[in-house]
Amino acid sequence: MTNPYAPPQAQVRDIADPSQAAAPADRGTRLGATIIDTMIFTAMVYVPAIVAAIAMGAANRERGNAPVVAAGAVALVGFTIWCWFTIVYMRRNGQSIAKKLLHIKVVRTDGSAVSLGRLIWLRNVLNGLISFIPLYSIVDVLFIFGESRQCLHDRIAGTIVVRA
């Protein structure tokens, strides 16, 4: 029988020690990661789609919408492969493909690991929706020049990019 007057026996999970936190990533490294990620996405999705459309169109000009359909199918395959790689890296250690190459990663502001949901929904989807507001993207990027080196989307998601 359990003593109802006994002190609580709950397991307490300690938060990460801020003094042991990794150093924030350099602004130039973050910019480089964004550029490389864009180049990878372009190479995996847009380039194959354009090549497929040109090849189909040059092969027979009387095919109607066939080149567009083929280009769309090729782009979908490239996008699926890109998504798979990106999700694997993000789930494993909070990195995109380029962040992995440049040895930086996304963590919570307390230094703990970031969840895949936070990465996708708050850092990407919500930020993408907010970016329809005129000038938001410029303001978002300019926030990186603050002392914490956090863009606005980092602040919204409660994350920071650090050296891995």
- Among 31, 16, 12, 28, smallest CA distance to 107 is for 16
What is residue 24's DSSP assignment?
B
Q: Where residue 70 falls among pLDDT bands split at 50, 70, 90?
A: confident
**Cβ contacts of 90 within 8 Å, gap of 6 or more:** 96, 116, 119, 120
Largest Cα–Cα separation, the chain: 85
Count of alpha carbons within 13 angstroms of residue 109, beta-carbon side: 11
Cα 87 to Cα 9, 92, 149, distances in angstroms: 37, 8, 24
pLDDT in tens, 141-155: 999 999 989 999 999
pTM given for the model: 0.80
Cα 150 to Cα 16, 81, 133, 136, 153, distances in angstroms: 19, 29, 20, 15, 8
Mean pLDDT of 126-141: 94
What is the residue extent of each domain of the chain? 23-163
Mean pLDDT of 35-53: 92
For the beta carbon of residue 131, count every other beta carbon within 10 angstroms. Answer: 13
9 SS3 class: coil
Q: Where residue 63 falls among pLDDT bands split at 50, 70, 90?
A: low
pLDDT at 106 over 80: yes
pLDDT of residue 89: 93
pLDDT in tens, 23-40: 999 999 999 999 999 999
